[in-house]
């Protein structure tokens, strides 16, 4: 078995090297990184609605940044060091000021594999302390190992998880470069370490993966009950613009948060009925009417898994 794993890894590395040799010089052109202005001092880049791959450099999530009088604050680091370096180059088109801080909404791979590039630039990283559990877990190790094979050459043996320089434990006001950011813990929801960052001066909310706009969210092992409660917390902010973790910018904050909320509520309602009736999952899934969500991107990829994980969660909650 060990030899098979080694052989598979070698094959993945060879295929990745072939991809890099033939496409490396053009890979940045395959998935453009376009700056979108959010507010007078904030911008973001939008990842593609797809699974991570060598062809897209794992550019499947969003990242934002705010230009302060003293430097640039980046929100999330994207899914590979190469992407973080591309983002830094885009930031230089806006301002010559250095990148001083990176605020991390959560430690999923597509949001943090770029951290090491920003760390090398001298940026201070701020995240929620609950991320330490994930960083030291077997899940994180296996995910990185798989990513080194599946996303080579953009994620390789030099790619590693980077701990925050400052850990946030509770709601906290961060004044960075003279600009106020309200760090609001909203986990356990999408992850235990979920953090949203609200900039009240421009009414911009960086919501991380609590809000998926115009696509099916990835629920995974999330605590969907607390996720719904977290969305209710975010709805309390006086928000004009949301930068979601995935999908286009939202200028209809309440409507877009409601879409994610309604999907989670529907998952819990339908799967709760199934678990209470002790209906087998396959039968329950087939009998559920998914028409109000099946037109959304990634429905085919994520919905069945989301429903199954919710089914298991509700079984556990009932014990």
Mean pLDDT calculated for residue range 247-271: 88
CA distances from 1 to 4, 5, 11, 69, 143 (A): 5, 6, 15, 56, 19
Retrieve residue 117's tokens: 């590039």
User: Shortest CA distance to 13 belongs to which of 173, 122, 222, 154?
Assistant: 154
DSSP run (H or E) holding 99: strand 99-103
pLDDT attached to residue 213 = 73
Residue 223 confidence (pLDDT): 85
pLDDT of residue 3: 39
Token pair for residue 316?
Answer: 């556990």
Which residues are CB-neighbours of 60 under 8 A, at least 6 positions away? 47, 48, 49, 50, 51, 52, 79, 110, 246
Helix (H, G, I), strand (E, B) or coil at 103: strand
Where would I find the H helices in 191-278?
224-234, 253-276
User: What is the Cβ-side half-sphere exposure of residue 13, based on CA atoms within 13 angstroms?
Assistant: 10
In this prediction, residue 254 carries a pLDDT of 78
pLDDT score at 24? 43
| Interior/surface letters 189-218, b for 16+ CB within 10 angstroms, e for the rest | bbbbbbbbbbbeeeebbbbbbbbbbebbbb
**Angstrom distance (rounded) from CA 170 to CA 167:** 10
Q: What is the pLDDT of residue 27?
A: 44
| Closest by CA position to 276, among listed 318, 234, 225, 243 | 318
Pseudo-torsion of CA 230, 231, 237, 242, nearest 10°?
Answer: 120
SS3 100: strand
User: At residue 12, does pLDDT exceed 80?
Assistant: no
> Mean pLDDT across the chain, nearest whole number?
89
Please determine, for residue 270, whether its predicted confidence score (pLDDT) is greater than 70: yes
Instruction: Compute the distance between CA of residue 113 and CA of residue 165 in angstroms, rounded to an integer.
Output: 16
Where residue 1 falls among pLDDT bands split at 50, 70, 90? Answer: very low
Mean pLDDT over 269-278 rounds to 96
- pTM to 2 decimals? 0.82
Is the pLDDT at 206 greater than 90, yes or no?
yes
Segment 49-73, tens digit of pLDDT: 888 999 999 999 999 999 999 999 9
Is the pLDDT confidence value at 14 over 60?
Answer: no
- What's residue 29's pLDDT? 53
Q: Tens digits of per-residue pLDDT, 179-194? A: 999 999 999 988 999 9
Instruction: Calculate mean pLDDT across residues 31-52.
Output: 95
Q: 54, 154 in Cβ contact below 8 A?
A: yes
Question: H or E element: which one contains 311?
Answer: helix 299-318
As a whole number, mean pLDDT of residues 184-206 equals 95
Lowest average pLDDT, out of 21-25, 36-40, 98-102, 238-242, goes to 21-25
Query: Do 238 and 205 meet the contact criterion of CB atoms below 8 Å apart?
Result: no
pLDDT value at position 158? 97
Token digits of residue 197: 């960052």
All structural domains of the chain: 2-251 (3.60.15.10)
Integer Cα distance of 82 and 155 in angstroms = 9
Bigger pLDDT: 260 or 41?
A: 41
pLDDT at 28 over 80: no
Structure tokens belonging to residue 133: 């559990």
Measured distance CA(211)–CA(62) in Å, rounded: 11
Region 284-299 average pLDDT: 94
């Amino acid at each position: 078995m060990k030899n098979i794993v080694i052989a598979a890894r070698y094959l993945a590395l060879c295929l990745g090297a072939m991809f890099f040799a033939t496409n490396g010089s053009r890979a940045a052109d395959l998935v453009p990184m376009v700056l979108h202005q959010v507010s007078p001092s904030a911008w973001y880049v939008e990842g593609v609605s797809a699974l991570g791959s060598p062809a897209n450099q794992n550019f499947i999530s969003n990242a934002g940044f705010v230009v302060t009088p003293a430097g640039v604050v980046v929100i999330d680091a994207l899914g590979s060091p190469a992407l973080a370096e591309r983002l830094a180059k885009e930031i230089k088109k806006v301002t010559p000021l250095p990148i001083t801080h990176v605020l991390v909404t959560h430690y999923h791979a597509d949001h943090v594999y770029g951290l090491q590039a920003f760390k090398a630039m001298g940026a201070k990283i701020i995240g929620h302390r609950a991320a330490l559990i994930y960083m030291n877990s077997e899940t994180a190790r296996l995910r990185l190992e798989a990513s080194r094979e599946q996303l080579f050459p953009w994620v390789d043996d030099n790619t590693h998880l980077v701990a925050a320089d400052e850990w946030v434990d509770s709601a906290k006001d961060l004044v960075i470069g003279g600009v106020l950011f309200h760090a609001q813990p909203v986990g356990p929801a999408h992850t235990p370490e979920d953090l949203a960052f609200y900039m009240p001066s421009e009414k911009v909310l960086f919501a991380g993966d609590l809000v998926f706009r115009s696509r099916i969210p990835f629920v995974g092992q999330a605590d969907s009950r607390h996720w719904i409660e977290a969305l209710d917390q975010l709805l309390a902010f006086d928000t004009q613009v949301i930068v979601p973790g995935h999908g286009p910018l939202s200028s209809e904050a309440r409507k877009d948060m409601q879409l994610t909320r309604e999907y989670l509520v529907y998952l819990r309602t339908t799967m709760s009925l199934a678990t209470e009736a002790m209906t087998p999952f396959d039968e329950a899934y087939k009998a559920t009417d998914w028409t109000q969500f099946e037109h959304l991107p990634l429905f085919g990829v994520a919905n069945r898994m989301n429903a199954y994980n919710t089914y298991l969660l509700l079984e556990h909650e009932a014990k």
